[in-house]
A = this chain, B = another copy of it.
């Protein structure tokens, strides 16, 4: 439990993910834990990346998109261009999310409208049922 390196289990507990997930992210080159013998040790850098990964997922980025963003951050050269591209990707994503939300809102309004009908139909039906008794 050194401050600098964490085992896979410590990572799982700290970030609420499964070992499989961390190994999967490593296989996809999202994380690069070092090895002590056969065991993985996750560094501060891995933790920073994992935070970004989880945050990216919240934003609806795919793991592949996240990997590309992470790579851009890591290139360390031509940073202005890279930042600009990162920014562009993020803005595009934001726009997609807003469109998605708008569609969702339309669907919600639509469904609400349906439900109003539904309530009316059910109410009528129950009235008829009672009247029929």
User: Interface residues, chain A, CB within 8 Å of chain B?
Assistant: 55, 58-60, 79-80, 83-84, 86-87, 90-91, 93-94, 97-98, 100-101, 104-105, 107-108, 110-112, 114-115, 118-119, 121-122, 125-126, 129
Cross-chain contact of A59 among B97, B110, B118 (Cβ < 8 A) = B110
Q: Which of B87, B97, B100 lies in contact with A122, CB distance below 8 A? A: B87
Q: Could you tell me if B107 and A104 are in contact, using CB atoms closer than 8 angstroms?
A: no
Closest to A86 in B: B118
CB distance from A37 to the nearest CB of B (A): 39
Main secondary structure of the interface of A (DSSP, over half): helix
Contacts of A122 in B (CB 8 A): 80, 83-84, 87
Closest residue on chain B to residue A57 by CB atoms: B107
Contact (Cβ within 8 A) B112 A107: no
On whether the beta carbons of A87 and B129 are closer than 8 Å, the reply is: no
- A87-B119, A94-B111 known, 19 other contacts, Cβ within 8 Å: A58-B107, A58-B110, A59-B110, A59-B111, A80-B122, A83-B121, A83-B125, A86-B118, A87-B122, A90-B114, A90-B115, A93-B111, A94-B115, A97-B108, A97-B111, A100-B104, A101-B104, A101-B105, A101-B108
